[in-house]
Amino acid sequence: MITRDLEQFFAAAGKVQPDFGPATARATFLVAPDGFRLAEQSAQDNTYMAAAGAFDANRASQQHRDLQRAIAQVVPTVCFAGNPQTPDAVFPNNVFGTADGRYIVGRMRHPVRQREAERGDIRAFFRDVLGREEVELSTQEHACELTGALVIDRARGLGYCGLSERCDEEGARQMHDAFGLRATLLFDLAAGEYHTNVVLAVLAGRAAVVCPKGFADANAAQAIADFYAPHAVWCSEAEHAAFVGNCIALSGDTVWMSANAAAALTAEHRAQLAAAGLRVEDVALDAIEAAGGSLRCCIGEIY
């Protein structure tokens, strides 16, 4: 089922069991920020991006290595080399995604990012090393930027897809099918928002972080929060701006976010996550955040 109808979606969601698959990834993959700089095409619809002068390639590279070192203590993590011709490739989860037995290649909106889908080495890793079947979405015309646009509750097989210039309704339908989801909720992102995973996270199937200002319809944000209550963090505008919503659970007991996000997270919300059994871990990523994404954006998941 794929629908915009909140009542219909949550009536169905309330009946599913958390038996769709593992709630967190078996492994992760990164792409190094080689040639890290402002991607002018992406800046057209990513208001989080800093000006060109704020980009520090050396600092971004070091912070990215620190990220890999940190999360590798929790889950096996592979890092592919970057490409100076694809400065946004540090956010690979928009282009490559996985589900049981297959990998999905998404359709990016901007040509500078469409080049990322041509990476033969990443495709060969999934196809030849991991033995995954390919689901090719990058050659069709509808934008569908995978787990940037689509936040997935992997335990239940539920999708939350925010529509914007980075994902239209047909693209959402194709992702729903590619990931094999039980039900997907469609809603519009607020003006100025480009990806759902900046304003929403579902953590290990039992908690959610919701940034209500990122939703065009406040009712959609509230309905998602209600579904995961009492373990739903309702972010302030300051937390939203600091990328608290761009967090990820990589195990059943940890949630990862950037150091800036962790500093903005209120004590009340930290306690709320702790009550859900999730300890906050953070990594300094301010240099990478200049590119308009944060920790979750850097992490591709292997299920």
pLDDT tens figures, 60-116 = 999 999 999 999 999 999 999 999 888 889 999 999 999 999 999 999 998 888 999
Q: What is the model's pTM? A: 0.94
Which amino acid belongs to residue 48?
Y
Please name each of the domains of the chain with its CATH number. 2-302 (3.75.10.10)
Predicted confidence (pLDDT) at residue 268 exceeds the cutoff of 90: yes
With 0-12 / 13-18 / 19 or more C-beta atoms within 10 angstroms meaning exposed / middle / buried, residue 25 is buried
Distances (CA, A) of 300 to 4, 130, 172, 213, 255: 27, 15, 19, 26, 15
CA torsion 138-129-131-68 (nearest 10°) is -60
Query: What average pLDDT is seen over the chain?
Result: 94
Give 47's pLDDT tier (boundaries 50, 70, 90): low
291: pLDDT confidence band, cut at 50, 70 and 90? confident
* Integer Cα distance of 295 and 20 in angstroms: 25
Cβ within 8 Å of residue 271, ≥6 positions away: none
Residue 55 banded pLDDT, cuts 50, 70, 90: confident
pLDDT of 233 strictly over 90: yes
Q: Identify the residue whose tokens are 């997907």.
A: 184
- Tell me the pLDDT band of 38, cut-offs 50, 70 and 90: low
pLDDT tens digits for 205-229? 999 999 999 999 999 999 999 999 9
